[in-house]
A and B are shown apart, each in its own frame.
Chain A
Amino acid sequence: MEFNKDYISELLNLYEEGETSLKQEQELKLYFSSEVYDKEFEPYAKLFKFFELESKTEMEDQVTGNEKTSSSFWINIAATLCIALGGLWFYDHYQTQQEMKEARQAFETTQNALNLLSSNMNDGLEKLEYVEVFRTQKNKLIK
């Protein structure tokens, strides 16, 4: 790439006056990025290299942000699964608990009923002793 030194210095003058067009500034950028610029223009080279560098900086956190969202996506799924499984297990557990409780209650009521029945039976048996006495007396008389 051949650049005339006079031409470049003229462009730089215009540049400082704010009179260069975007196209001319492009030429300057190209000239200074070629690494064969005249050492006389070193300070300008710094400036143009900086502009080049600066125009390429990106907002870094976008990439990491994407990674984060993809990992948090899986974490979300894992958390959802945990909650769902936990809920299922708890529901199951609660239901068996409830069944056990009902069964125990039924058992207790049955036991109470049977107790009542047996105590009534015992009462009845006591009364039956009179019949026994009556029968022995009757046997004595009839024999």
Chain B
Amino acid sequence: MTSEIYSRQVLPLQDKIFRFSRRLLSSEVTAKDATQDVLLKLWKLRKQLNDIKNIEAYAMTMTKNHCYDLLKSKHSRTLELVHSNYTKPGSSLDSQIEARDEASIVSKLINELPEQQRAIIQLRDVEQFSNQEIEEIMGLNSTSVRVALSRARKKIMNELKKTSAYGIQ
């Protein structure tokens, strides 16, 4: 019964958790590990999942905390902040290369943002959480979420406008 809830509601979140932790940790491998860790934690808590209203937001909060812990404990030591070019299999070669170039520019810009803005951009623009959910996940009030979101978006757009104005790809 409880494991059914887990497989129905938690497992489909795997990709979201992975993308979020990859955004925060900037490393594919560490993000995979983090995803496994979070899923394991949720599995251990599966009996309490019944009482949680928004499992998705709960899982994301857990992911955020886990990633912050990792960053805190490993920041000065071993965690490599490697930027990997995120590719997506499929589609024709041309459009794939083009998409990758553009995607990696945007991805790089996002990764240059402060941690919190990075997280909020990911949650809002990629995963499409509502502001209310983001407030819950990040533990912020509505104004700071909106301000952080706006700052992040403006910064990215400034850079993007610059690169396209100079014609740099």
Contact = CB atoms under 8 A, between A and B. Distances in A.
Bin chain A's interface residue count.
20 to 34
Contacts of A61: 32
A50 B157 CA distance: 13
Interface stretch (A2-10, A52-60, A90-98): A52-60
B126 A22 contact: no
A58 B88 CA distance: 9
A91 B89 CA distance: 53
Contact of A49 (B15, B103, B147, B161): B103
Q: Secondary structure of the A side of the interface?
A: helix
A46 to B, nearest CB: 5
A77 to B, nearest CB: 25
A54 B103 contact: yes
B88 A57 contact: yes
Contact of A46 (B14, B19, B32, B160): B160
Interface stretch (B49-57, B58-66, B72-80, B148-156): B148-156
B164 A43 contact: yes
B141 interface: no
Interface of A: 15-19, 22, 25, 42-44, 46-47, 49-51, 53-59, 61-62
Given A18-B150, A43-B157, A44-B160, 14 more contacts: A16-B154, A16-B157, A18-B145, A18-B147, A25-B128, A44-B157, A46-B160, A50-B103, A53-B88, A54-B19, A55-B126, A57-B15, A61-B32, A62-B14
